[in-house]
Each structure stands twice: as C-alpha cells, then as structure tokens.
Amino acid sequence: MINSANFFENTKGRFIECEEPKNLDVSFISKNQSKDISSVYRYTENGVYRTSNHWGGVASCQWNLNTVNDFGMDKCKITEVKTGYISFYELGLNKKMEIELLNSYGNEDKFNKIKEQIKGMY
C-alpha cells in the first residue's frame, strides 16, 4: 500500500495542479545539491501535495503535472513553482499496474519492450 512513508519510491502518477495549501503544515522539504529547496511536500491522510519547479522524472519516480508535461518526458523544469495533488491510491494503482505487467511478461527485457510501446497509456 502506498502512503507517506513510501510514495517517493518508484511510483508514477499525474498530479492535478491546484493552489498551494498553506493551511497544511509542511511535511518534508527536499533540497538540491546546492542545498536550495527544490520541492515542498504536504501530506494528507489520503495523498500528497507537491510544490516544485520540476516535474517528470523525479529521482526514481515519474511524476507529471496535468498542466505541464506528459508521461515519457525525462524531466521538465519550469520557470515558476507549481503545486499539484495526487492521492496515494492513484500512485498505488500505477505501481500495481507496472508490477502486474512485469509479472505477466515474465522477464524484464520483454517487459521493457512492451512498456516502451505503451508509454503514456497508464
């Protein structure tokens, strides 16, 4: 089950752009190599708000913002900071689908070929 303790590990999802929820406490701040703030996270019981200027390939994840980029982009750095929300359930579905696909194709090479063919569909 995806939750605030593991949502950042190999998940994929489309965040929906929204206003930054300043009434929620900051749960986590990630910093870049220069020690500057790169993303701010606010957890709810059911999901996560992410405020950042980069979307797409984020560490081991593929997190896209519905108004910025599509699946398959490595990384999309934007000039302004945007906030998006996604439920842990949606992230869990994406991870579960990938695991199910891998299991159904038996080996990783075959899975990766199929994954390339359907990129952006899940």
pLDDT of residue 121: 42
Is the pTM above the cut of 0.75?
no
Strand 12-18 with 75-87, pairing: antiparallel
The verdict on residue 1 lying in a domain is no
Query: 16-20, 68-72, 78-82, 117-121: lowest mean pLDDT where?
Result: 117-121
Asked if 85 and 47 touch (Cβ cutoff 8 Å), the reply is yes
When divided into structural domains, the chain yields a total of 1
Burial grade of 118 (CB within 10 A; 0-12, 13-18, 19 or more): exposed
CA distance 56 to 71: 7
pLDDT of residue 41: 97
The residue type at 44: T
The verdict on residue 23 lying in a domain is yes
Asked if 70 and 119 touch (Cβ cutoff 8 Å), the reply is no
- pLDDT band with cut points at 50, 70 and 90 for residue 116: low
pLDDT in tens, 82-101: 999 999 989 876 766 677 76
Nearest to 17 by CA among 70, 71, 86: 86
Residue keyed to tokens 């080996």: 107
Q: The domain containing residue 38 runs over which residues? A: 12-117
The verdict on residue 4 lying in a domain is no
The verdict on residue 105 lying in a domain is yes
The verdict on residue 3 lying in a domain is no
pLDDT in tens, 33-80: 889 888 999 999 999 999 998 888 777 788 888 887 554 445 566 668
Bridge partners of residue 52, in order along the sequence: 39, 82
pLDDT of residue 122: 37
The verdict on residue 122 lying in a domain is no
The verdict on residue 6 lying in a domain is no
